[in-house]
Amino acid sequence: MNSLADIFGFDRQKLWWYRDIALGTVAAIASLWAVSALAAEQSGYDLKLGIGSAIVALSCCVISPNRLMLFGVVLGVIAIQAWFAVLFSHDSRSWWIAIPATGMAVAFFTMFGQRPIRNR
């Protein structure tokens, strides 16, 4: 009978992969909150939430040895969120986020897309 780790495909040699997936998920969600809170009408709570979320997203990017990969994930998530805002809200402020975020993500992946991922 197989162990639970074998059943779910857990591989101890790829712990770095699980770490980067967890940090990337937290950084992506925090960046979504940061952009949403900072793009909304400014209140004290929104400003604090946006700054706190941005700090969490940057912290996740700094912790990992694969900083460039995590930063690219955050840029991609922000660009996708901004284009959804353009499509569904028809708000002119969304264009000011969508176009620069997409340009930065494309430039970032063009420059750093071929770098190897670090295992440890």
Q: DSSP string of 25-77?
A: HHHHHHHHHHHHHHHS---HHHHHHHHHHHHHHHHHHHHSS-HHHHHHHHHHH
Show me where the domains of the chain are located: 4-112
Q: Sorting pLDDT into bands at 50, 70 and 90, what band is 117?
A: low
Q: What's the pLDDT score for residue 119?
A: 60
Residues contacting 46, CB < 8 A, separation 6+: 37, 38, 40
- Is the pLDDT reported for residue 71 higher than 70? yes
Which range (2-11, 58-67, 97-106) has the least confidence? 2-11
Q: What's the pLDDT score for residue 3?
A: 74
The pTM assigned to this predicted structure is 0.76
Q: How far apart are CA 37 and CA 45, in angstroms?
A: 9
Looking at per-residue confidence, does 11 or 72 come out higher?
72
How many helices (H) and strands (E) the chain has is answered by: 5, 0
